Structure 1
């Protein structure tokens, strides 16, 4: 391809977008496979959403992992053994900073640099236009491939509630400190992990707490059989227990360790265990039972100082917090590059590989039932090996791509997951890793 005026050709280098956990492991694994890497990070340091200093970070002062330490750490860089089962967000950030230092990754990151556009220019190559977040001229560089690792838990999905509300209304992503709750009447909207965590904090700080949920959920304890809940679940999957038996055990565990939530006014679950992302919170039932949290149905509309609920009742909170999730956002890519549908949901093989652009991949766009970091690690290894095979043996690479395109989605997506935006990227961690392992074998160089 001839040179284009004003475009710096980086030849075989790969562009990585984002220096959070997924971006860092992508840099490391691409480098280990021999690629030069330019990573662009709009913030001034690593860590992505785990770095509370970053504008787009959604962690609050009390945020902890909801997946346990052994199932969250990168496979080649363990977390310290003396850390708690569920580390604090500050510990996770320090872990990512040490990961970057240990593998020498920061030298490949352009900090304070935002990606404005990523445009295909033929033969699998991409023109990436960037600019400083502090202003200045744009520059465009050409890359052999692009790996997107910009995260998917930073663009708030705000609920569409008719009417006007006189009090304060914010998304959970803007909730940073429980001091905002003290002495106030608080309505928390959303039954996911963030909504439950905020409701529990409000129960300890606020004068009154209402928790609005649209449907019933299964609430799992943090510990099962003396171990973190995700470790017990992983053991059952490794033993290859059938789904019906795992569901039976789940129900028995919840019955034995938790109260019947319908007694407190919560709706019964409208789905079976494992069809929704698990709600891991041992304290919610405690505060429901002590009357510190009042369950209420879905919000129907705002009415000045009041909030009207779906059953016609009304509450009058000072503060409404919407824990209604996030939407994936790729503002630098044209929608058709990731085959986004009308709702903004991308169609990617293994939630990673663009189907019509073999040199475009996304790392970390997953909602697993355990930690994300190991999955992002092996995703990025698969991306690196795919790019290497595509260069070394394009005929075999095309055959692998054709075979993979026929793989049933059920092999790596959570079976029976609810058809909601919250569950777009649901995967069973062990099943997903198993499929990745098969793909990695296909991508090994011929002997």
Structure 2
């Protein structure tokens, strides 16, 4: 990597040439690509706006969180989980694993650098990635390859609900929820019935709070395990031999046998099967770890969609009005790619690659995406391996051409700032 001298009298932004790719995002996806590049001897710069790796896991998840899938489906390439880890590692264990991964491959991200913009400069056939640090320092990285690893869950989604600002009580997003300890005895409205909404409602019950959960639409709920086997693992085995639609039918029959008819509880199932829904719309089925029992016992109350909020209360679409002390918005996350990447061919307006898995990992002009498969860490790991190999091949070919032409390993560039 070649950097110009930091001369504040001459420049307001440093200009840095990276003899390899720039990776944006130091979560599991970015770390996996970085490890693959290390293995291939390719230099790179790994950027992250936070002050740690995997900031989503470290700073925006609740305390009781565990991996929803068995550990063998959540490990990064070439680095298995420790044998003594349980089948479903805790949040702390997963963070420890990621930190060990970074240390093992000697990955050193540049923290506290927020990417403000990235665009391809056709005249120079390179990417210009502009960042600003927490201290206000600005840097422009120039590179031939750009890896977008900010993932599916970069920004919280906060719905616009009439009267929410007038509610008056505590309103937090799920990313700020840690535990129900401070909410003991309080009436809490949990908006959202996905995995986060279900687990937060369960956690509130365990801390003697009184949760009500908004169920606005249909939802698939499956047991986390079936007959001693992970439901996910069982589905993956069946998909080797059976079509997806048939596996969906088998899963739903088994779920009915184990969980009973959940529609009697007010939980309507979608008309599309759980695997097909995940593949086509990215909507993950809920893997039950105890919330359903609390719903049956009415310790978790189910309420319909919200019509509006008022001071200390919520009115629902069925006309009912209930009082609450706090609101937790388990309303999900979204990609932040459209806010900083100036590119319209590869990424769609929602911040996901236009091509679905397994073809959404590579764009044009050295652009790559990892962590957007809607298939969790296993999908990200598969894409990371392909990206690292593809860049390694291109980098070696480029390096050989430079050696033949006797070109220095760095490229000089002129700053115009």
* TM-score > 0.5 by shorter chain: yes
- Unaligned stretches of 5+ in structure 1? 53-57, 395-447
- For residues 348-363 of structure 1, the aligned pairs below 5 Å read 348=355, 350=357, 352-353=360-361, 355=363, 357-363=364-370
Equivalent in the alignment of 1:384: 388
Equivalent in the alignment of 1:332: 340
Q: Deviations over 1:224-271 (max 9, x none)?
A: 120122111111112x21234312321221111113222223334443
Q: Deviations over 1:75-105 (max 9, x none)?
A: 4111122211111110001001111111111
For the residues of structure 1 that align with 2:35 and 2:342, how far apart are their CA atoms? 27
For the residues of structure 2 that align with 1:251 and 1:381, how far apart are their CA atoms? 33
Residue 304 of structure 1: how far off its partner (Å): 2.1
Residue 21 of structure 1: how far off its partner (Å): 0.9
For the residues of structure 2 that align with 1:364 and 1:186, how far apart are their CA atoms? 33
How many aligned positions are there?
378
Q: Is the 8 A contact 1:259 1:285 kept in 2?
A: no
Q: Is the 8 A contact 1:154 1:173 kept in 2?
A: no
- For residues 203-282 of structure 1, the aligned pairs below 5 Å read 203-238=205-240, 240-274=241-275, 275-276=277-278, 277-282=284-289
Match of 1:303 among 304, 310, 328: 310
Residue 314 of structure 1: how far off its partner (Å): 1.4
Equivalent in the alignment of 1:397: none
Equivalent in the alignment of 1:117: 117
- For residues 7-406 of structure 1, the aligned pairs below 5 Å read 8=15, 10=17, 12-52=19-59, 58-106=60-108, 109-122=109-122, 124-133=125-134, 135-163=135-163, 164-238=166-240, 240-274=241-275, 275-276=277-278, 277-330=284-337, 331-334=339-342, 336=344, 338-341=346-349, 343-348=350-355, 350=357, 352-353=360-361, 355=363, 357-368=364-375, 372-388=376-392
For the residues of structure 1 that align with 2:212 and 2:18, how far apart are their CA atoms? 57
Q: Is the 8 A contact 2:77 2:385 kept in 1?
A: no
Root-mean-square deviation (CA, aligned residues, Å) is 2.5
Change (3 A) 1:339 1:76: closer
Q: TM-score, normalised by structure 1?
A: 0.78
Q: Is the 8 A contact 1:124 1:359 kept in 2?
A: no
Say which SS state the counterpart of residue 106 (structure 2) adopts: coil
Q: Which has the higher contact order (CA 8 A, sep 6+)?
A: 2
Residue 35 of structure 1: how far off its partner (Å): 1.8
For the residues of structure 2 that align with 1:318 and 1:132, how far apart are their CA atoms? 38
For the residues of structure 1 that align with 2:91 and 2:303, how far apart are their CA atoms? 30
Q: Is the 8 A contact 2:32 2:77 kept in 1?
A: no
For the residues of structure 2 that align with 1:387 and 1:268, how far apart are their CA atoms? 43
